[in-house]
Amino acid sequence: MTPVVDLRSDTVTKPTPEMRAAIAAAEVGDDVLGDDPTVNALQERCAALLGKEAALFVPSGSMANQVAIRAVTEPGDELIIDETTHSYNYETAGPAALSGCSVRLLAGVRGVFTAEQVAAAVRPENAHFPHSRMVIVENTNNRGGGSVWPAPRVAEVRAAADRFGLHLHMDGARLMNACVAARCRPTDYTQHVHTVSMCFSKGLGAPVGSIVAGPKPFITRAHRFRKMFGGAMRQAGILAAAALYALDHHVERLAEDHAHARRLAEAIAELPGIRLDPATVETNIVLFDVEPSLATAADFVARLRAHGVWMLPTPPQRVRAVTHLDVSSAGIDRAIAAFQSVCRGR
C-alpha cells in the first residue's frame, strides 16, 4: 500500500525512534512541585536560547499565548493584533473568555503589520474606551502562509509599543522556521519583545508542548495561570525530553521542509485551476486558491485524498499544505503527481 502523504499540518509529525529513546530515558519528577529535572533543564535552556530571564513549559501553543495574555492584562483591556493572528482565529475566543479582553484588528500584509498601524490603533485615554495594553506578532504567520517577520520590523513595532506603554508578545509557534528562513538567531527577534512563546510539536517534531519566556515576574504570574487553566503537569519530563531532543536535532533540518514547500509550490503553480505565487512561500506552509470552475476547496481536497495526499481546505476556495519531517522528497513527488491528475482530470 502506498503511504499517505499527510500535508494537513506539521502537527501530525510522530516522534522519531531516537526521540522515543530520549523520552524513555528521561529523568522525571513532580513538575507541579518543581521537582522534574528534565522540565527544569528545558526551561533553563529555552530562557537562554530566547534571551529571557525565565521560561515555563506548557502543554500547547494556545495555552502559551493565553497564559501570556492573562499574565499581562486585566479584564477590559484590549489587544492589538493582525486579523490573521492565531490567538484571535484559532484559540476559541480565549482572550475574551479567559482574560476578558477585547481585540483591535489590524490589516497587515500576510500577517505583518507596521508600527504606524499600531500607533493608529491605540485607544485614547478615555472612560468610554478599552485600555490598549498588548500587541501580538505571530512569527511565522500561519494564515499568512508561513510569512516571516523581518527583525527590523519587529524592532519598529517595539518602539511604537514603548511609546504607548504597550506589552509586545511574540507568538513564535514556528519561530525556528523563521530563524532558519531568515538565517538569524532567535535573539535577533526576541530582543525586541517582552515575552515570547514557541511550540515544539509543529516543525520541531515533538509530540506535545510549548514554552513561554520572559522576565521572572511575568513567568511567576504565568505559572499561576498555567495552573488555573489546567496546564500543570506532573512527571512531564518525558515530554520535555522530546523537546530537548528536538532542539538538538530538528532545527537545522527545517530548511529541508522549506525546500520541499517551495518545490511543491513551483510545480503546482503552473497547473490549470490553481492560483498561487510561489514567491509567497517563505517557509513550510503553502496556501493556494482553487478556481471555482475546477472545484471548491473541500471537493479539491477530497479528490487529492483519493490519491493518498491529504490537505486541509479553508472554504470556499483556499487550501493549505504544510511540509514537515515526516514528508520526504518522494512524498513531494507523489503530491505533485496527484495535483497533476486532479487538475488535468485524469
3-state DSSP: the chain helix, strand, coil percent, rounded to 5?
Answer: 45, 20, 40
pLDDT digits (tens, 9 = 90+) for 257-268: 999 999 999 999
| Residue 218, all three cell numbers | 511575568
| Residue 115, all three cell numbers | 508600527
Peptide bond into 17 cis (omega under 30): no
* Of residues 203, 214, 201, 186, the one with CA closest to residue 240: 201
Report whether 321 contacts 329 (CB < 8 A). no
| Residue 179, all three cell numbers | 530563524
| pLDDT tier at 64, thresholds 50, 70, 90 | very high
Give the mean model confidence (pLDDT) for residues 111-136: 97
Q: What does pTM read for this prediction? A: 0.96
First vs last C-alpha separation in the chain? 21
40/60 Cα distance (integer angstroms): 17
pLDDT tops 70 at residue 33: yes
| Residue 119, all three cell numbers | 500607533
Residues in the chain: 346
pLDDT tops 90 at residue 345: no
pLDDT digits (tens, 9 = 90+) for 17-26: 999 999 999 9
So what's the architecture of 253-343 in CATH?
A: Alpha-Beta Complex (3.90)
pLDDT digits (tens, 9 = 90+) for 286-323: 999 999 999 999 999 999 999 999 999 999 999 999 99
Give the mean model confidence (pLDDT) for residues 329-345: 95
231/218 Cα distance (integer angstroms): 17
Give the mean model confidence (pLDDT) for residues 80-90: 97
Strands 54-58 and 210-214, by their bridges, are antiparallel
CB-based burial of residue 142 (10 Å sphere; 0-12 exposed, 13-18 middle, 19+ buried)? buried
Q: Give the model's pLDDT for residue 346.
A: 62
Domain 17-249 identical in fold to domain 253-343? no
Q: Give the model's pLDDT for residue 1.
A: 63
Q: Give the model's pLDDT for residue 189.
A: 98
The topology under which CATH files domain 17-249 is: Aspartate Aminotransferase; domain 2 (3.40.640)
Q: Give the model's pLDDT for residue 88.
A: 96
- Domain spans of the chain? 17-249, 253-343
Q: What is the dihedral of CA 79, 105, 156, 158, to 10 degrees?
A: 10
pLDDT tops 90 at residue 80: yes
pLDDT digits (tens, 9 = 90+) for 211-239: 999 999 999 999 999 999 999 999 999 99
* Of residues 222, 215, 213, 152, the one with CA closest to residue 182: 152
DSSP assigned state of 238: H
